[in-house]
Structure 1
């Protein structure tokens, strides 16, 4: 009944982020630039037509600026899809969007030199396609 939040994220971000690979799992090897977009929590508000999803959007690129720009473009794509009530065919739309954590640089030991990673967290109300 309820749409997949992962399918909704991919359906919104892939067309908006030309030149970047968008997925819900980390590929090995990882192509750059790359966007990981996946639900990390949430629950149904009404099993028939509304769910809240907490989603994680991470971006990787070969420069800090490119990774930050990709994170900003991902944020913009989500906001624009929500405001325009864009329906991803056979999936659904975003009924509400709020940012829990703004995009931030996350350096870590496992990230290779010359690769930069940003992460943001959003809460979406997800509705099925009409």
Structure 2
């Protein structure tokens, strides 16, 4: 039996977020026009390791939400969290595999306005597990 290629957790994360947050720009990399792209979600893998390279990958995902004010950015961050919990519970999938487990590492928090007082940002880190397709 050949070892399967593990699913792309980042791609599954983006798929789940885009399906539920239809009026929000969801990307893996901060776009050049990020300061004009609000509301915006940037979600990308920042670490993690396969639990077992034959079956499952556990990714550490950094998620940043941007919106025009603190309350809206906070709300968007909490929507993202709920979406990812649901995506793991319902096993959002593609041809390579499916999401299977959610764990919050760092809940949504705001680093403050920084250089852009007209935008608010919240950051969170989640551990998402994906299983290879059978």
**TM-score, length-scaled by structure 2:** 0.89
- The size of the alignment, in residue pairs, is 128
Could you say which residue in structure 1 is the equivalent of 2:87? 81
Would you say the 8 A contact 2:45–2:59 is kept in 1?
A: yes
Matches within 5 A, 1:1-130: 1-30=5-34, 31-87=37-93, 89-107=94-112, 109-110=114-115, 112-130=116-134
Structure 1 residues without counterparts, runs of 5 or longer? none
Task: Note the C-alpha offset of 1:91.
Answer: 4.0
Task: Note the C-alpha offset of 1:108.
Answer: 5.1
Deviations 1:76-116 (A, max 9, x none): 101111112222x2243222111011111121534x12100
Give the structure with higher Rg (CA): 2
Which 4+ residue blocks in structure 1 deviate beyond 2 angstroms?
89-92
SS in 1 for 2:10: helix
Task: Note the C-alpha offset of 1:66.
Answer: 1.0
Structure 2 residues without counterparts, runs of 5 or longer? none
Could you tell me how far apart the structure 2 residues matched to 1:42 and 1:59 are?
21
**TM-score, length-scaled by structure 1:** 0.91
RMSD after superposition: 1.3
